[in-house]
Amino acid sequence: MAVYINSKNPNSPELDDLLTSLPTCPGTCIFIDIVNSTEIKYRTGLKEWARLLNNTFNFISFLNDFPNHIVKGIGDELMLYIPDEDLGKKANINNHHQLLEEIYATLYNIKHFPASDLFLPCKVAIHYCTEVYNITYFEHYNDYYGRDIDLAARLMTKAKIHRIVVSESFYNMVLQSAGTKDATACLKSVSEKYIEDFKGVPHSTALHVIDV
């Protein structure tokens, strides 16, 4: 569970001791955004748009494997954080390659579903994080902070409908866990490496895109 940080003394030496002793929490940060959800609220009533959101969230089946790792919901965007130690203990999706394949399959099935009026399309960003801490500033809430969480959020600026943006660090983890298996449709769809500069990040970031 997250370490609760709440010091009334802004210069607390105890807080300094706590912060300098905190371990990092390596893992995978995922942002999932339902596209056009704002626009559709202006075009339809609650009965229509709420049903579409219900259908879409339920269709993102891998969320059922990680219900305790949904950290934030902001509007129609979700943030998940899956620590490495938790991912390895899962029965079904327990490595980075399987995780990417499941997300790819979800976006593919939404895009190609026979009925066009049941789901809304999604876009996704994924980053493998090492500079992350399991801390919270609000008691009884689980949360994660660190420069890699901010970078994962920045990756979403490169995402668009039916697209997965993956950092180079996450892609490397995928390749490690994929082993020598034949390339799937997902892995065959991974783009060349792009180098991007993001606001607030003092170095360039390598990433790949997967258009479903």
Instruction: Give the tens place of pLDDT for each residue, 93-123.
Output: 999 999 999 999 999 999 999 888 899 999 9
Q: What digits encode the pLDDT tens for the residues 152-201?
A: 999 999 999 999 999 999 999 999 998 766 778 899 999 999 999 999 99
Looking at residue 7, its amino acid is S
Over residues 149-153, mean pLDDT: 97
> Nearest-CA neighbor of 78 among 43, 114, 126?
126
**Is the pLDDT score of 36 beyond 90?**
no
Question: Measuring CA to CA, which residue among 81, 66, 88, 65 is closest to residue 27?
Answer: 81
CA-based radius of gyration for the chain: 18
pLDDT of 56 strictly over 80:
yes
pLDDT at 181: 64
Q: What is the pTM of this model?
A: 0.94
Which residue bears the tokens 């490496």? 193
CA-based nearest residue to 128, from 87, 187, 73: 87
**Cα distance between residue 31 and residue 175, in whole Å:** 21
Of all residues in the chain, the percent with pLDDT exceeding 90 is: 84
| The dihedral formed by the CA atoms of 39, 108, 33 and 65, expressed in degrees to the nearest 10 | 140
- Tokens 């997902």 map to which residue? 186
- Map tokens 């229509």 to a residue: 48
Residue 210, φ and ψ in degrees, nearest 5: -125, 110
Q: Could you tell me which residue, 188 or 64, shows the higher pLDDT? A: 188
Eight-state DSSP code of residue 190: B
User: Which of 28-32, 39-43, 116-120 holds the top average pLDDT?
Assistant: 28-32
CA distance 33 to 22: 31
Across the range 56-70, mean pLDDT stands at 89
Residue 211 pLDDT level (bands cut at 50, 70, 90): very high
Give me the pLDDT at residue 75, please: 82
178 and 187 in contact (C-beta within 8 Å)?
Answer: yes
